[in-house]
Structure 1
Amino acid sequence: MRIGTPKEIKNHEYRVGLTPAGARELTAHGHEVFIETRAGLGIGIDDAAYQRAGATILATAAEVFDRAEMIIKVKEPQPVECAMLKPHHVLFTYLHLAPDPEQTRALLASGCTAIAYETVTDARGGLPLLAPMSEVAGRMSIQAGAHAMEKAAGGNGVLLGGVPGVPAAEVVVIGGGVVGYNAARIAVGMGARVTILDRSLTRLGWLDTVFENRATTLYSTVDAVETSIAKADLVIGAVLVPGAAAPKLVTRAMLGHMKAGTVIVDVAIDQGGCFETSKPTTHQEPTYLVDGIVHYCVANMPGGVARTSTFALTNATMPFAVALADKGYRQALLDDPNLREGLNVHGGKVTYKAVADALGCDYLPPQDALRAA
């Protein structure tokens, strides 16, 4: 198979979809790999490293799309990239389609096969290609939030861990999954007073055991959320419904109960955000104010630590990329039900139910779509 990786073009996105080690792995399996020039420079990898791994360097993204059968990326394709997709292409990347009807329409119009990292599952029901970035984003959410809490950044001027004689900050984490756990872990380590809300009693029990009374766990209700955020200095939105739009758990009215200068970090922004007042921001302009509350809603947060993120992500994606290349996308998807969960768009149809429900599109089950191919 011919596999291509273009340079990411989203604002302040420095990650790359394939490392030299990944290129070497694919070429060792007999596949051709094409890399857009300078694709890896954002994380300190030059073209020569890819060439030593057996990849061919191409001058433009258009050439990569023209030569490749499978496109391996990091972030969702931008409009100019969607325009280069054709029916023979397999796109393997993060998509986050539920809150993005424009991208969905473009992918449907292209006729391509689009496999989303964020909905590929494992045997335990986990999300193995989302988990590495969720770990990064959860940990980053605390350091980003701590910086935004500084008075010069618009926050309330509270030091996350406090000092002797002065209370530490109150941190509220809404959602106790991978993002929430990692956020709480860093916040606890920095000396903050941490409260974690979740609706799974099993997960709350696990978190309570792990943190050994260093964090408070609460069952998540409207009242519990409202009461908790009213005393918070930093609120982390860490809620995920796989493939679907995130539920709006904090309304604009609730902001009126919060202290001026409180910071909210919406890690769920890729799926539309779990705060009613959230809108995507970039690393260039990461925050904005609503009713005196600082909102940090960077949609590609792990891109800020691009080198760590790239290697963590490609470690997870490589086995699936090899399977798609070795078997061809159709056989690989039919053979592996977990990989098949990643199929979001195929042949002009939406093949992931949560996306179809969120956007009001017709839904075609992935197995039916593949059999009709």
Structure 2
Amino acid sequence: MTFTEITQFVTRIAPLLNLSSRELKLLQTPDRVLTATLIVNGKKYPAYRAQYNNARGPYKGGIRYHPDVNEDEVTSLAFWMTLKTAVADLPLGGAKGGITVNPKLLSSQELEELSRAYVRAFHQYLGPQQDIPAPDVYTTPEIMGWMLDEYEKLIKHKAPGMITGKPLEQGGSLVRDIATALGGTYVLAEAVQKLNIKEKKVAIQGFGNAGMNMAKLLAGQGYTIVAVSDSQGGIYQASGLDILSIIKIKEKTGTVIKYTEAEPITNDELLTTDCAILIPSALSHVITKENAGHLKARVVVELANGPTTPEADEILHQRKILVIPDVLANSGGVTVSCFEWMQNNASEQWDEKTIKERLKQKMVSAFTQLWNAYTSHTYDFRTAAYIHAIQKVLDAERKRGRI
């Protein structure tokens, strides 16, 4: 979604919130967008950090390395991070950053230098109480570790809370590797109970980190995973797939389609397969007005960012198919990032059991608040989430006297 589309979206939703022109302008305007040109081995790389809103706490959001990164994209994503932290009820705001680069074309040394250059460019605007970056597309715990090291060199003291998604040895958190999927299982369990779903058949599109962990976790909780897919295609088995075997084959061959004890299907066929629960966990805009009328699922869990188009949303709402939007469904990742930041600030290391319990409490509480708003109005669950988040941001702005 472009930033122009975001401003149009806020304008469309404004009547439901009775927004004043001042409130509308505030929501449509980032606090600041920082830009720089990084030079590594004589090559120039545009770099960005969009800090959208910090009314509820320090800015928070990932840094991505991708050839398509631009100012418009990071500004749009910073807006969504502002909503996501509000939905999850975290004491954080929203930001996003990136570098326009294909990291696959860089050596490890060049990648490290680029990452350190990013911190040198923006370090005055980063910090545990200012702006806390994290991994995103094509960035890793190792890269976060380089960035932390560079930041601490510049400020001349330790500050592990300035970045999250770090290696454990540098103050990273347990559970971070499965946080997005685990958070998704907690909200799904609430939806299954509310909708009284008995036959828990699941189809998962995307078998990367989030999708694979979701399949593994749900299979262990008694759900029947009937279909999974990756970029090369999918597999289906009505009686349920052997997820642990599929994970081994995926790790060995790079794709799930090498699993021969199931029926091959396409990614499009997976979306309309016979299941109660559909989990798009890879690409955006896969559920469209063309296929929304053919979905058989009763609930869609958006583990991916933006997998459902606005036109499809309307169709699914009319068909009474519940869509748990990405701002809630995949907020387990930023929630455990917040926990990492809290541990760093308090010089603590929480155990796995504590983190999982606190994550469950946060996700269930967020779901319950949104469910109550959704069931007391005629609009869909996504709109309920957006309204809830925007109200929280504006309430914080009012308390600060900004509006």
* TM-score in terms of structure 2 length: 0.37
Q: Which has the higher contact order (CA 8 A, sep 6+)?
A: 1
* TM-score in terms of structure 1 length: 0.40
